Structure 1
Amino acid sequence: MSIYAAYGSNMHPEQMVQRCPHSPMSGTGWLRGWRLTFSGEDIGWEGALATVVEDPDSSVFVVLYDVPEDDEARLDRWEGTELDINRKIRVRVETQEGAVLAWLYVMDAYEGGLPSARYIGVMADAAEIAGAPADYVRDLRTRNSRNVGPGNGITD
């Protein structure tokens, strides 16, 4: 079993149960030296999608999941690794128990674009559920986003 570090909407436990039913949450931590940003507006969920980029002055809150091979393959398909939308990298995550090696997805697209307000809301709710600090959740909730009108929603 490998450890997956979720920083976007996959932080939300209900979403992960749908996508990876055999992958329990195993904790939380911080991805030090990385910054949360958005890209892929042309392929995204009503707008740009979350990704991370290296930045020595930043940190990203992550939710860790123990993911067996079958769920990992399912999540790879969902995240578009076969289509080269995302690629997987290994990173070190700081937890209260010490550093752990995990994998995560990074968008293979230029940084930029606005995410939808709904996507930001899912991410902020997920971070709050997982116990992220209040200022981190507030920063998510106050990020620039775009409103999407009726009829443009996802069917998930």
Structure 2
Amino acid sequence: MEETLYFAYGSNINLEQMKHRCPDALLVGPVTLQNYELQFRGSGFATVAPKKDCVVHGLLWKLTPSCEQSLDRYEGYPRHYIKEAVTVQTADGSKIPVMAYIMAEPMCRQPALPYPRYYRAIQQGFEANGLPVESLEEAWNRTIDEICTGTMERPDRPKSTKHRDIER
């Protein structure tokens, strides 16, 4: 089995988490997924879905076969997440075919807010890797808009912390 190029966009952009989950994974660098949107679905976990003129920021990893098997377990493959082939773009415009975990049906249809600890783990990954935190905040706001209707009170977005909160 050969190595797999993997696009991480959720909590697996958190370097400490990936070090724990996949100690042999090699970070290639920041990339974008064009015409997709970052979403929070199911039980409040991150996923991506096709959406014209949107961009998802993330990291490209090179996974060993054992790292991929480890991530399969963490991501609940194939019940909670499925693997899809997508094409990411590097800063210089190069396009690379990679694998991404995408939330499975029917969970991917239900918007849900992430737990604060999970959101902060992603936020820390964005900050540590120079990714635009605004795109993460936009995903939070879109989820709020989908969930909260009428006079329902809108919850505050979790604030960044200096300590390391890591979970799925």
TM-score between the two structures when normalised by the length of structure 2: 0.76
Structure 2 equivalent of residue 122 of structure 1: 121
Following superposition, the deviation at residue 96 of structure 1 comes to 1.9
Bigger mean CA deviation after superposition, 94-103 or 28-37: 94-103
Conserved 8 A contact 1:116-1:147? no
Supply the distance in 2 between the matched residues of 1:154 and 1:27 (Cα, whole angstroms).
20
CA 15–88 in structure 1, closer or farther in 2 if over 3 Å, else same: same
Q: How many residues matched?
A: 145
Q: Aligned AA for 2:23?
A: P
Matched, 1:101 2:103: no
Following superposition, the deviation at residue 155 of structure 1 comes to 7.7
CA 122–141 in structure 1, closer or farther in 2 if over 3 Å, else same: farther
Q: Aligned AA for 1:87?
A: I
Structure 2 counterpart of 1:10, from 3, 9, 12:
12
Q: Deviations over 1:67-98 (max 9, x none)?
A: 0111101110111114x110000100010241
Q: What are structure 2's unaligned runs of at least 5 residues?
A: 145-154, 159-164
Conserved 8 A contact 2:123-2:133? no
CA 75–93 in structure 1, closer or farther in 2 if over 3 Å, else same: same
Following superposition, the deviation at residue 135 of structure 1 comes to 3.4
3-state SS, counterpart of residue 53 of structure 2: strand
Supply the distance in 2 between the matched residues of 1:10 and 1:89 (Cα, whole angstroms).
16
Bigger mean CA deviation after superposition, 91-100 or 9-18: 91-100
Structure 2 counterpart of 1:91, from 86, 102, 110:
86
Bigger CA radius of gyration: 2
Structure 2 equivalent of residue 66 of structure 1: 62
Conserved 8 A contact 1:32-1:94? yes
Following superposition, the deviation at residue 122 of structure 1 comes to 1.3
Conserved 8 A contact 1:20-1:75? yes
Q: What are structure 1's unaligned runs of at least 5 residues?
A: 42-47
Q: Deviations over 1:5-51 (max 9, x none)?
A: 0000000011001000100211111100000011112xxxxxx1000
Q: Aligned AA for 2:11?
A: S
Supply the distance in 1 between the matched residues of 2:40 and 2:167 (Cα, whole angstroms).
22
Q: Deviations over 1:88-114 (max 9, x none)?
A: 001000102411111111111123111
CA 34–111 in structure 1, closer or farther in 2 if over 3 Å, else same: farther
